[in-house]
Amino acid sequence: MADVFKLDLDTPTYKGTVSVNTGLFINGKFVDPVEKNPKIDVVNPATGKVITSVSAGSAKDVDVAVEAALKAYKTSWGLKVPGTERGKLLSKLADLIEKNADEFAALESLNVGKPFTVSKNRDVRLTIAVFRYYAGWADKIHGKTIETNENKFAYTRHEPYGVVGQIVPWNFPLSMVSWKLAPALATGNVCVLKPSEITPLTAQKLAGLVNEAGFPPGVVNIINGHGSTVGAAISSHLKIAKVAFTGSTLTGRKIQEASAKSNLKVVSLELGGKSPNIIFEDADFEQAVKWATLGIFSNSGQVCTAGSRIFVQESIYDKFVEAFRKAAETRTTQIGDPFAEETQHGPQVSQIQFDRIMTYIDSAKTEGANIVIGGNRHGGEGFFIQPTVVADCKPEMKIVREEVFGPVAAVIKFKTEEEVIEMANDTSYGLASAVFTENNSRAIRVAHALEAGMTSINCYNVSEINVPFGGYKQSGVGRELGEYALETYTQVKAVHVNLGLRL
């Protein structure tokens, strides 16, 4: 029988008990793995200490989950359940998350290191909103009638794939679960989902609410485990028709390769980024500094859309660097215990991530960039890194070309609009981008020229749940959020009806 983890917390922002079943959630039950694999330690990144341990699944557990999902799809879900009923269950799940919002926020802060106020007011709130949004779409999955001739009737149906495999990352573990589950379930699919082994606790908590919401057993299955075992098994499983992944570009390539070598399952990918944030001399300077600060330091820099390449026009470059340094200095005073009321900046998620970021900072020093502020560990325990501003960067530097995924901004000087567009597009990534200028014609012209799936004008990191999210180039395939996500989880069938054709 799977174990239950419980912890009493008495903090300035949360007082109460958090509890999570640490087993695998398959066919409506928490179960132990088929094989007795070593459990996976879950670490509090603010202290570096182990919180608890969770079960580690294997390919055999994926097999069991897929069979349970297939049975549910054929007997109690899919197109057998009207969209109105699927929507009701998604709404009920959203209500249950809202009822337990504080506990979800506490688990997210404990496991990921996010400030509690951010976890509650952003991550949990948006998770609830995503489930409710797709609950509203569940009975609006429409095909088309297509005119051909009077002797024939043609129409299309948008049908679910069946069993969908989903793999979510560690930086937004709860909200990414909603981005995956909600549109998949709304369109009639059944799911086998793997949370990150680093941050599984909120996914485990959500699994405990699936039955209470009324979903039939097998519709949602959540399997903890390592990417090399559970993730690989999902990617290559012959009975999984589609896989959706958010994470690194390297892993995305492996998933596409596994799909090609198995059953050519449909793959949607939301991958890495090295997003340009372009600030022209005619921008609202104060606002540009504030948005640039949010764009790189939000979530401790652990954001795929982070504005990590900041291009500043030469006439305001020095002024911007100094103002940005002061903003980072203020941010440094807000680092600390995720459960403290004043904390706005948490730790990196793991020792591995901490070490990786520090390696990039060292490379910037070696290549001749100027560390304006930061660049060091903050505090004596945990995985905290100071907000870091790196100036005098050149396009060929490693810190400019590779995704750091931490609170490290590379600031680059530019002269002309044409020059900055070329530099901004000189990357293998194409996820997000931003333009700051008071010239509307220039703003739209540059936004259209940037090779990215998303462009913001005079703002940064303000995605909306009803607007598509995704990238160009090696930043991904397919779109999440909005109506566009429904296309990701449906396949189109054309039906031809003979009304009078004779041979």
Catalytic residues: 270
Closest CA to 35 of 61, 63, 53: 61
Tokens of residue 440, six digits: 């509307």
Q: Read out DSSP for 238-300?
A: TT--EEEEES-HHHHHHHHHHHHHTT--EEEEE-----EEEE-TTS-HHHHHHHHHHHHHGGG
| Amino acid type, 313 | Q
Closest CA to 346 of 328, 355, 334, 360: 334
Strands (E), 302-425: 309-313, 370-373, 388-391, 408-414
Residue 294 has, within 13 A of its CA and on its CB side, a CA count of: 12
Residue 143 CA to residue 158 CA, distance in Å, equals 6
Backbone phi and psi for residue 279, each to the nearest 5 degrees, phi listed first: -120, 110
379: left (phi over 0), alpha (psi -120 to 50) or beta: left
Residue 129 CA to residue 122 CA, distance in Å, equals 10
- Which residue's structure tokens are 């059944």? 190
Are residues 91 and 132 in contact, defined by beta-carbon separation less than 8 angstroms? yes
Residue 176 CA to residue 229 CA, distance in Å, equals 21
Closest CA to 193 of 140, 152, 231: 231
Label the pairing between strands 163-167 and 309-313.
Answer: unpaired
